[in-house]
Chains A and B, each alone.
Chain A
Amino acid sequence: MFEPFVDVVPSFFGWLNQGPLTLTIFLHTFIVLPMIWIYKQEKARLEQEG
Chain B
Amino acid sequence: MKELSLHILDIAENSVAAAASKVTIEVREDLVSDRLRIRISDNGKGIAPEKINQILDPFTTSRTTRKVGLGIPLLKAAAEICDGFLTIESIIGKGTNLIVEFRHSHIDRMPMGDLTSTILQLVISYPNINWIFIYSMNEKEFIFNDQLLKKELEGISLSEPPVLSFIRQEIESGYLSIQTPAENQKNTLKEEQKCQPSIV
Q: Tell me if chain B binds chain A.
A: no
